[in-house]
Amino acid sequence: MDESFHYPAELTNLLVDTIPLLCRSKDDVVLFFRGAGVPDADLADMQRRVLTDRSGINKYEIARTVVQRINEKGDRYLRPRREVVKRVVEFEDFSSCWPSDQLKAKGLVGEVRRVVNVKDSFTRMAEERDKEREERARTAQMARVQAQERRDRICAVKADLYALFALRDNPQHRGTHLEKVLNALFHAYGILVKENFKRRSPDSHEVIEQVDGVIELDARLYLVEMKWVAAPIGVGLISQHLVRLYGRADVRGFFIASDGYADTAISQCREALANKVIALCTLQEFVALLEGEGHLEDMLRRKIRAAELDKQPYLPVLS
């Protein structure tokens, strides 16, 4: 129980009934409270009445008066309130009580312990509820911060992507920057594994393969190829990407094109689906995704599902 709060009525009455049984004399009752840290100023009149009018006051009146006094005081009486309860619940030597009071004293001490334990339980449950509520609030706040950070990153990607459309006179520069922009988009959604990398020959160290990016979706790895060219992607470029996929076990592929795909390229990918999963995307779909603030993972999953189940490598998802 948190005794920083005042004693509840049930505990107040129990203390008043119990303390006189634990003390043989009226002086012992005063001494019990003094030992618990109750200031002399709150005990002086009780001590004086015991000395001058012993028959006019009993142990129960002393206990009730002092308990009520410390119960009405503020935080500066926190220690004596705690100590009074502590001395009662830890009382064990009932041989110091009057023989006729020992059984009753044991029962009342047990009842004080029960009440204190119940209050403790409620306090602990309240503390646990508060802790859970604070934890939920922290988690929600963290989620809001992370969501805002992702929105900020996606907005930056959107601005960078739109800027690429102005690079009409430098297609090579535009294509290189497209890789960086789309990799930044994957990163913003938390699915990027590795940005563009080159594989070199172990003998000559010449570049024998270049991959634009690698992503992980639903525990599967996908090689991503991105091309910004002036015509629909044909068999030649698609074949290069398929060769990379065939050279890696359990790796799938995405292809992102700026101007769609030739029918022959789509047919080649459909035939390849018997051995390798590949899904075709367009740059316009990514623009529409950013415009509509859609979910990248959902778009990619729809395309993969169409490739796996319907043997459809190119499913226009967004327009």
Structure tokens at 132: 């859970």
Is 300's pLDDT higher than 60? Answer: yes
Q: What is the pTM of this model?
A: 0.56
Chain centroid offset of residue 311 CA: 41
**Adjacency order of strands within the sheet including 207-217:** 192-200, 207-217, 220-227, 251-257, 278-282
The packing angle between helices 59-72 and 9-22, to 10°, is: 140
CATH number of 171-310: 3.40.1350.10
- Dump pLDDT digits (tens) for 253-276: 999 998 899 999 999 999 999 999
The DSSP annotation for 54-92 comes to GGG--HHHHHHHHHHHHHHS-GGGHHHHHHHHHHHHT--
Parallel/antiparallel/unpaired status of strands 192-200 and 207-217: antiparallel
Range(s) within the chain of domains with CATH label 3.40.1350.10: 171-310
- Dump pLDDT digits (tens) for 123-138: 555 566 677 788 888 8
Instruction: Say how far apart CA 255 and CA 282 lie, in whole Å.
Output: 8
Query: Are the C-beta atoms of residues 306 and 279 closer than 8 Å to each other?
Result: yes
- Dump pLDDT digits (tens) for 211-253: 778 889 999 999 999 888 889 999 999 999 999 999 888 999 9
